[in-house]
Amino acid sequence: MKLTQREFEEIRNHIYRVSGIYIQNGLLEQAERRLNPLLATAEIHNYKNLISRLVYKNDVHLCDRVILAITSEENHFFADMPTFDTFKEVVLPKLAETIQSRKRKNHVRRGAKINIWSASASKGHEPYGIAMLINEFVESQEGEGVERDDFNILASDLSSTALAKAVAGEYDSDEVNLGIDKDRKEKFFRSFGDKWLAKSAIQDMVDFRKVNLSEPFTRLGGFDVIFCRNVLEHFNDNTKRSVLNQFTYMLTNSGFLILDRRNSLNGFLDYYEHVEHNGSMVFRRRENMEFSTV
């Protein structure tokens, strides 16, 4: 089905109004390719009808599905392996040191010692991948005073549709087989018909919440690690600056901000040092650099 430039602009402008996500002009063909299957499954006969339901009938559920179709980029686990390698080999050992230090200072403290936020969790591939790596790391640190309960993962997304899939922890074989080896699949998933379900070892570590990054979100509290991949490129410069401003305010001293290769920290570089490892976009907040939101 053909998507005209005018129809594309109407859809794009509506998405921007409700989410702050701005679809670039050059993505018309990509949008058409991703939206055509949605129109078929939703039994919408043309883009004029789609726009009518989105804009004039304010079909929130349909809008949610449209945003997910256009912006979703990860359909399997560990899609950006260098980033996850850096988290495993550099970030997790540093977090273990933080856990041990905090336990020495406050012996009565209970609950999660490290807070991690997957700020664009989509269908759950990223937060469950983080949980798998934490499980494996904790096992390798037996006797070192680091436990699975020392970590808490918040996973958020704008899309209720994506979050529902993530909460269910149910994935197709292709999603699991493409990014996960046999040992991890057996350890962290169980087969259920033609689906794979995430086991409690990783499901119980993740809390899911709907969050619109184009709106204020510092109420979520402080974090030791923030993952924000595959989303900043969908914002205009002002929204992107606002998001990074809040991330920087929320990160603890020496906390980690993990982006993807399409993004940078222009305007915030004074507050971070780049973690040089595997070419990944992992940054560590400098200690004792005071920062407040504007």
Say yes or no to pLDDT of 127 above 70: yes
Mean pLDDT, the chain, rounded, equals: 89
Instruction: List pLDDT tens digits, range 77-110.
Output: 998 899 999 999 999 999 999 998 888 876 544 5
- pLDDT, greater one: 102 or 135: 135
The pLDDT, as a whole number, for residue 194 is: 86
CATH architecture of 81-285: 3-Layer(aba) Sandwich (3.40)
Residues facing 273 on adjacent strands:
284
**Per-residue tokens: 64:** 């949610």
Range of 21-25, 135-139, 280-284 with top mean pLDDT: 135-139
Instruction: List pLDDT tens digits, range 139-182.
Output: 998 878 899 999 999 999 999 989 999 999 999 988 898 889 99
Distance between CA atoms of 114 and 92, rounded to whole angstroms? 10
The pLDDT, as a whole number, for residue 143 is: 75
Percent of the chain with pLDDT over 70: 95
- Band (58; pLDDT cuts 50, 70, 90): confident
Q: Can you give the residue ranges of every domain in the chain?
A: 5-71, 81-285
